[in-house]
Amino acid sequence: MKLGQELISADAIQRRVREIAQEISRDYQGIERALILLSVLKGSVSSYGAGTQSSGHVQLLKDLTMDVAGRDVLMVEDIIDTGLTTSFLFDHVQRHGPKSLKLCVLLNKEERRITPVPITYKGFDIPNHFVVGYGLDYDELYRNLTAVHILEP
Ligand code: 5GP
């Protein structure tokens, strides 16, 4: 596998992230208790291993570390592909009884969707490619890139 063409520039990512941040600030302004931003830690969910295809089976290896009951919660995801991981986690958090639960995602591969997920804040729709950069890795590589790139076979 090798690093391919740049799909989303660092500038475009920064601009979109700022826009979404402003939207989120507006939407949650005036809530009683602070918004809980819930991010999925690498290693807390397993479905990929060291490949580029999801195994389709999601396993929760580490649960929530704070009580979200009665709180406004925003789940923040890097990328949604089949939707299996996110829908599993969304339902899991929902069972903890938050006051509200919404989903924010940077990259969305709509054509790969198997399980629908309710996205409220979305950075970019992308075509069906395995991508790396801006935190996304391939076997621990390319995570540090400031732009999003396609990974080529
Ligand atoms: P899903 O369950 O939606 O198929 O996949 C969710 C997870 O798979 C993401 O959170 C991410 O960790 C990984 N993933 C899906 N597509 C890609 C991709 O194009 N690049 C990378 N690096 N990870 C991906």
Could you tell me where the DSSP H helices lie in the chain? 10-27, 84-94
Residue 136 lies in a domain: no
Report which of residues 61 and 122 the model is more confident about. 122
- Residue 90 CA to residue 8 CA, distance in Å, equals 27
pLDDT of residue 94: 96
* Whether 91 is catalytic: no
Residue 5 lies in a domain: no
Helix (H, G, I), strand (E, B) or coil at 124: strand
| Cα 73 to middle of ligand 1, angstroms | 22
Phi/psi-derived region of residue 141, left when phi > 0, alpha when psi is between -120 and 50, beta in every other case: beta
With 0-12 / 13-18 / 19 or more C-beta atoms within 10 angstroms meaning exposed / middle / buried, residue 52 is middle
Write the CATH number for 80: 3.40.50.2020
- Statement: residue 48 has pLDDT above 60: no
Residue 7 lies in a domain: no
Residue 2 lies in a domain: no
Structural domain for 113, as ranges:
12-128
The per-residue pLDDT for range 100-140, each reduced to its tens digit, is 999 999 999 999 999 999 999 999 999 999 999 999 999 99
- Statement: residue 59 has pLDDT above 70: yes
| Cα 85 to middle of ligand 1, angstroms | 8
pLDDT of residue 47: 59
Predicted TM-score of the model (pTM): 0.91
Answer for the pair 36, 65: CB distance below 8 angstroms, yes or no: no
- Statement: residue 52 has pLDDT above 70: no
Residue 45 lies in a domain: yes
Residue 122 lies in a domain: yes
**How many structural domains comprise the chain?**
1
Residue 101 lies in a domain: yes
Which of the following is catalytic: 81, 91, 125, 139? Answer: 81
Ligand 1 site: residues with CB under 6 angstroms? 47-48, 54, 77-86, 130-132, 136-138
Residue 145 lies in a domain: no
